[in-house]
Structure 1
């Protein structure tokens, strides 16, 4: 099974995050791996979430708590990605030695896009349905989880979307709404069930909520502490995550 195109491109564009896999393999601990990689503990978790979300299967298997902040190891998929990264390091060194114009490499770097959206989920296009000037796009994420996006038809053409196209769904953390699992689903929007893995309380703003999805991907949401209390949401709670199809942005490889 080949790696998703978007994950492979991420390996090329963000080698410092892929290098974290090497540290996890060596250290067996997220805390120690973060220190070796020069990342904060939170930064390491964010990197792992991003990598897992771009893969068909989680790259890192982790256990929360315990001595040293919890254990961690690479899955079989993670080991495959690490081997690819190591091969690419060798090829990159050869390319830099052979390059005649460093400016060309700088141009390529500028053409690669980073985004502020916290949630970046790898998926494939299942269906595209025209709705006036817009298109309704159904996406299959890892392990069969489905979400929907609404974009203009011009965007569909510009991104060259068709059935089977690999995409990244971008959803800002502030666009996610959290409800208790016993609330009826809203048929007009996306509804995903998950487990709250961690809540980071902010002193002067909304709390950051990390949510594990049943397919191994992770969402990050923002919620006011009083909203979490009103809806009886805490770490370990089952939660319903809602977001509009109009708040799902789509990206494709250059």
Structure 2
């Protein structure tokens, strides 16, 4: 299997995502059609999602990129401003330069014999993702259940461990999550993890339950960080109160289970 070195080109403003290829294409569609609804249809996205993306860009930009225009025989429409056109032009020029750089880098990797080493590059790609969530797992979608408003997506993170999440149907469709085999990143904040004693007769409302051994505890003045070692060297970190530690059952070497509600699980996918 051959590995091609690739990269996604994004513009950030004040550390926040401003525009990538998808958003720039949306702006181009708005300019071509003069309509948000037409641009959204061309992009295969909802009217709301299109406006959300444009609002995000308008909020971060020095000037509006897209404005509503009232009046006219057709009742007005949506107009890409001159500033918006300049943003498109500058982005596409920078993107072409970025593509030339990536092509040179890809050719260099071929010279070094690294084109056929996918495991190493896959690992580098995963490590390159930065997020505030302490717990991150690589996995693949193994099941899903569609509802009128929300969907349930189940991800296999390896060694028989599965994690389910609940998200809106629109989000699941836009992220292309409703098919098995989709590669995703699972993100869980440590503060969303609840620890309990491992017992077979315990009932709980949380959809996700992962059990393991407490491998490390970092105690603070009020809270403590507890690391639960799962199968195959994976770990899950939780934040608990020091009062919970003082109860005595939660200590290094103890068996424990992590409970995570499905709405607290976030999925991330490549752009």
TM superposition score category, shorter chain reference: 0.5 to 0.7
Q: Distance in 2 between matches of 1:219 and 1:180?
A: 15
Give me the TM-score of the superposition, normalised by structure 1: 0.55
Residue 195 in 1 paired to residue 213 in 2? yes
Return the offset for 1:187. Answer: 5.1
Query: 3-state SS of the aligned residue for 1:141?
Result: strand
Match for 1:184 among 202, 207, 228?
Answer: 202
2:60 aligned residue = none
Deviation digits for residues 85-140 of structure 1 (CA, Å, limit 9, x no counterpart): xxx9x947959xxxxxxxxxxxxxxxx86210000111110111013301001111
Match for 1:229 among 242, 246, 265?
Answer: 246
Q: Distance in 2 between matches of 1:229 and 1:200?
A: 13
1:212 aligned residue = 229
Return the offset for 1:215. Answer: 3.4
- Return the structure number with greater helix share: 1
Q: Following superposition of structure 1 onto structure 2, how do residues 123-202 of structure 1 map, counting pairs within 5 Å?
A: 123-161=139-177, 162-182=179-199, 184-186=202-204, 188-202=206-220
Q: Conserved in 2, the CA contact under 8 Å of 1:209 and 1:222?
A: yes
Query: How has the CA–CA distance of structure 1 residues 2 and 224 changed in structure 2, closer, same or farther, with 3 Å as cutoff?
Result: farther
Residue 121 in 1 paired to residue 137 in 2? yes
Q: Conserved in 2, the CA contact under 8 Å of 1:208 and 1:223?
A: yes
Query: How has the CA–CA distance of structure 1 residues 132 and 113 changed in structure 2, closer, same or farther, with 3 Å as cutoff?
Result: same
Q: Conserved in 2, the CA contact under 8 Å of 1:185 and 1:191?
A: no
Return the offset for 1:9. Answer: 8.5
Q: Distance in 2 between matches of 1:132 and 1:228?
A: 42
Name the larger-Rg structure.
2
Query: 3-state SS of the aligned residue for 2:146?
Result: strand
> Which one scores higher on RCO, CA 8 angstroms, separation ≥ 6?
1
Query: How has the CA–CA distance of structure 1 residues 156 and 231 changed in structure 2, closer, same or farther, with 3 Å as cutoff?
Result: farther
2:264 aligned residue = 247
Q: Conserved in 1, the CA contact under 8 Å of 2:206 and 2:260?
A: no
Q: Following superposition of structure 1 onto structure 2, how do residues 58-77 of structure 1 map, counting pairs within 5 Å?
A: none
Q: Distance in 1 between matches of 2:143 and 2:220?
A: 40
2:52 aligned residue = none
Query: How has the CA–CA distance of structure 1 residues 207 and 93 changed in structure 2, closer, same or farther, with 3 Å as cutoff?
Result: farther
RMSD: 3.1
Q: Distance in 2 between matches of 1:213 and 1:151?
A: 25
Return the offset for 1:178. Answer: 0.6
